[in-house]
């Protein structure tokens, strides 16, 4: 879902990603967020990527103890980490999750 908020010539679009790596309607239960902020007069764009992280680990689809992620926070990550994580959500391939976690804090 895309939410737009306009004030002072600035527009913000927020995309929420579900456990399948697809854009979803609701923020609740999402695994990742992408926020794009555009300043209209300069046409400058800033992208902020956030993933659900706890103890420096991104949310694992196959973790049987998903309750441990109730305390997870959305944390800003690099574009590379975000792309790896979305690919992991789309495919379920653990290699992408390992690469995404390896990019945290780099």
Instruction: State the number of CA atoms in the 13 A half-sphere of 2 facing the CB.
Output: 7
Higher pLDDT pick, 45 / 77 = 77
State how far the alpha carbon of 34 is from the alpha carbons of 14, 43, 68, 102, in Å: 6, 18, 23, 20
Domain that includes residue 56, residue range: 3-103
The answer to whether 32 and 52 have CB atoms below 8 angstroms apart is yes
Distance in angstroms (rounded) separating the CA atoms of residues 106 and 96? 16
The pLDDT score that the predictor gives to residue 91 is 95
Q: Do 72 and 35 meet the contact criterion of CB atoms below 8 Å apart?
A: no
**To the nearest whole number, what is the mean pLDDT of the chain?**
83
Query: Residue 43 pLDDT > 80, yes or no?
Result: no
**82, 74 contact by CB (below 8 A):** no
Domains of the chain: total: 1
């Amino acid at each position: 879902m895309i939410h737009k908020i306009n004030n002072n010539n600035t527009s913000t679009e927020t995309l929420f990603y579900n456990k399948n790596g697809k854009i979803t309607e609701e923020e609740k239960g999402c695994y990742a967020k992408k926020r794009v902020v555009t300043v209209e007069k300069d046409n400058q764009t800033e992208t902020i990527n956030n993933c659900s992280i706890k103890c420096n680990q991104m949310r694992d689809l196959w973790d049987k103890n998903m309750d441990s992620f109730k305390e997870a926070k959305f944390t800003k990550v690099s574009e590379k980490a975000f792309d790896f994580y979305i690919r992991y959500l789309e495919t379920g391939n653990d290699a992408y999750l390992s690469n995404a976690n390896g990019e945290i804090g780099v």
